[in-house]
Structure 1
Amino acid sequence: MTFKTLATGLTSLALVAQPLSALAGELNLLTWEGYADASFIAPFEAQSGCKVSTTYVGSNDDFAAKLAAGGGVYDVITPSLDTVGMMRMAGFVDPIEAPKVTGFDGIYPEFSGDATIMADGGPWAVPLIWGSVSMIYRPDQVAGTPDSIGLLFDPAYKGKISMWDDKSAIYWAARYLGYPNVFDLSDEELEAVKAKLIEQKPLVRKYWTTAGELTELMANQEVYVSNAWTGLTSKDVNALGKGFTVAEFSPKEKSEGWMDSMMLAKGSPNTECAYQFLSFMQSPEGQCGLAKATGYFPVNPVAVEACMDEEMKKERQVGNIDFVKSLVMWQQPARLDKYIETWNAVKAAP
């Protein structure tokens, strides 16, 4: 915690009378685009007296790199479920004291009790938000009604295809090739996936790194087809009124599922602000605020009970944990280094 120093000798009454700014702490987030929207960050700052500074990542691989180079720069990080275990094993984070997180008991037990979250006898992360990665496309530019990942590999759309710049491209290609366990591919399967992605490269306009970049690519008509965070890019593009719309679909090979969690960076000097933030994000303001800002799904059905109407609850899968079973939920690959090596080889290929 880095509260401003108070003058020595102040009485308790004078201390209470100090303006909030004099007691302000700070909180440094390393998070995804949309996860620090002013619509809920401003109320948090007002309630807590903690000034929030944000650095954004474009990939789960960015967390390790930035934490290794940051040296105590960050307080709270929000990696996806397939990266939580690596953050713990690498020593980048401290365990969570669950009693300090108001609302922790309202989180879906399927998330809060996940083996990746609960390790060594206690939680290492606080679930924050979840959702899926589906396909997005321009109905006025794509023939028929697409239903397959194959759209990302269709030569008919050469130069108008995009994909997320992340090792998860391996998961997409592996599902398209029919491999059943995309998180534990053999050397032979990885080679086939690499060959397929290299074959695709001439079709790709650009690998996008943030949701905002994909929104720009589609809004500027540079891209007609991509994988995308379900709900976010389509909402943003369609709101621009460009004279066309984009649509989404879940491919027959299944969409991916993800869940992002909050973790406490090791040695954070701002733990008081950090725990206030972890609690705030489990409150109605935090859960509904983030869900509305991103289009993603809340992890705490108790928190959103009164701040979402029935239509939005249905849209955001509140209470429909079975939806998770329809997705290929992210896991840390059995051979993470090999997957990263494969994806880097794809990007380095001519």
Structure 2
Amino acid sequence: MSLIKKLAIGALATISALPHMASASAGELNLLTWEGYAADSFITKFEAASGCKVTASYVGSNDDFAAKLAAGGGVYDIITPSLDTVPMLHEAGFVDPIDTTKVEGFDGIYPEFSKVSAVVVDGETWAVPLIWGSVSLIYRPDKLSSTPDSIGVLFDPANKGKVSLWDDKSAIYWTARYLGYDNVFDLTDEQLDAVKAKLLEQKPLVRKYWASAGELTELMANEEVYVSNAWTGLTSKDVNALNKGFNVIEFTPKEKAEGWMDSMMIAKGSPNTECTYKFMSFMQSADGQCGIAGETGYFPVNPKAVQGCMNEDLKKERQVNNVEFVKSLVMWEQPKRLDKYLEVWNAVKAGL
């Protein structure tokens, strides 16, 4: 049985077994999202304009969404998974389709995101693009003997005990590219075995697998880690702002950086559809798009929305109207054999 079918069956069983659990109330909006995606700097504007009170819970990995939805019954209204996780959540029955006519500003979203096959299935839209960006590498130039240009820096024995990596199946994507595999989302059993062996070989070099951007910032700020993959623009900004007497630098490896796009999805059976659509519309406005981009350093999905709230230099930095940049990235996709990828990553973490 596939992982998606298992999740769907498990979700239905869990939901039917939890009628006693408290559901979200109308006029309230419960988000399951990432750090920085529910910051007071823009959420308070939404609450004042909409009359909807926002409560946010946070994830550290895309793998958390399905588990929390299955365990939480009707607790959440909107979730914000990455593009490689959207199809699984839809197919597993965790979300409801979206009426895009109720999302103000939807037509301003890059069609490269709003019409992608992971988002639109059989004429129905399952996610509203929110924000996008890349995952690059970050390092302490004062601690490395040379300037790195490759993913190989994560596997260099010279950095033993000072390497970190995001605790996510995407570690497989990074390792596969380092090994020269182009089909990173459809690896063969033999290739997955090679990736697993390389990650197990790397394991003694790793200080810690980080679960959130805040955790990686602490690891670097406390000088526990010198090199890692990281959300482009966020960790370097946060670490360097601490003025610890050193700086960190980001770079795009010769094997390419990864690209991602996070979207808003409506949790199955949410009683707060009025607030959900108000929120989705707000996040396509200038306050929403510039708000989340300002908090995270990521790139807006709605170029029309940011015309009046970003100057030309910032627009250039945040890749506004430069969708060509997407083509330079390895954009995340749902692996063809998601269950196998998760099995491999969990085995690596367990040291098996």
Question: Shared fold by TM > 0.5?
Answer: yes
Q: Which amino acid aligns with 1:259?
A: M
Q: Compute the RMSD of aligned alpha carbons.
A: 0.8
Distance in 2 of aligned mates of 1:63 and 1:197: 25
Q: Which amino acid aligns with 1:94?
A: D
The SS at the match of 1:342 is helix
Q: 1:177 aligns with which of 176, 179, 201?
A: 179
- Structure 1 segments of 4+ aligned residues over 4 angstroms from their partners: none
Match of 2:4 in 1: none
Match of 2:228 in 1: 226
Q: Which amino acid aligns with 1:290?
A: I
Match of 2:192 in 1: 190
Matched, 1:113 2:111: no
CA-to-aligned-CA distance 1:24-57 (integer Å, 9 cap, x gap): x100000001100110001111111111000000
Match of 2:151 in 1: 149
| C-alpha displacement of 1:143 | 1.8
Match of 2:60 in 1: 58
Match of 2:202 in 1: 200
Q: Which amino acid aligns with 2:33?
A: T
Length-normalised TM-score, structure 2: 0.93
Match of 1:22 in 2: none
User: What does 1:94-173 correspond to in 2, within 5 Å?
Assistant: 94-173=96-175
Distance in 1 of aligned mates of 2:81 and 2:127: 9
Matched, 1:213 2:215: yes
Distance in 1 of aligned mates of 2:190 and 2:163: 26
| C-alpha displacement of 1:122 | 1.9
Q: Which amino acid aligns with 1:248?
A: E
Length-normalised TM-score, structure 1: 0.93
CA-to-aligned-CA distance 1:83-136 (integer Å, 9 cap, x gap): 000010000000000000000000000000101111121211000000000000
Structure with greater Cα Rg: 1
| C-alpha displacement of 1:180 | 1.0
Distance in 2 of aligned mates of 1:53 and 1:38: 11
Distance in 1 of aligned mates of 2:151 and 2:43: 36
Match of 1:38 in 2: 40
Q: Which amino acid aligns with 1:133?
A: V
Match of 2:318 in 1: 316
Distance in 2 of aligned mates of 1:143 and 1:103: 49
| C-alpha displacement of 1:2 | 3.8
The SS at the match of 1:274 is helix
The SS at the match of 1:82 is coil
| C-alpha displacement of 1:145 | 1.5
Matched, 1:47 2:49: yes
CA-to-aligned-CA distance 1:249-273 (integer Å, 9 cap, x gap): 0000000000000000010011111
Q: Unaligned 5+ residue runs, structure 2? A: 1-23
Distance in 1 of aligned mates of 2:35 and 2:183: 29
Distance in 2 of aligned mates of 1:37 and 1:328: 28
Identity %: 77
Match of 1:348 in 2: 350
Match of 2:280 in 1: 278
Match of 1:12 in 2: none
Distance in 2 of aligned mates of 1:286 and 1:45: 12
Distance in 1 of aligned mates of 2:105 and 2:126: 16
Match of 1:10 in 2: none
The total of aligned residue pairs comes to: 329
CA-to-aligned-CA distance 1:180-203 (integer Å, 9 cap, x gap): 110000000000000000000000
| C-alpha displacement of 1:284 | 0.1
Q: Which amino acid aligns with 2:298?
A: Y
Q: 2:266 aligns with which of 264, 267, 275?
A: 264
Distance in 2 of aligned mates of 1:341 and 1:156: 29
Match of 1:235 in 2: 237
Q: Which amino acid aligns with 2:53?
A: K
The SS at the match of 1:28 is strand
Distance in 2 of aligned mates of 1:341 and 1:2: 37
Distance in 2 of aligned mates of 1:308 and 1:108: 17
Q: Which amino acid aligns with 2:320?
A: V
Match of 2:88 in 1: 86
Distance in 2 of aligned mates of 1:142 and 1:47: 49
Distance in 2 of aligned mates of 1:114 and 1:120: 12
The SS at the match of 2:269 is coil
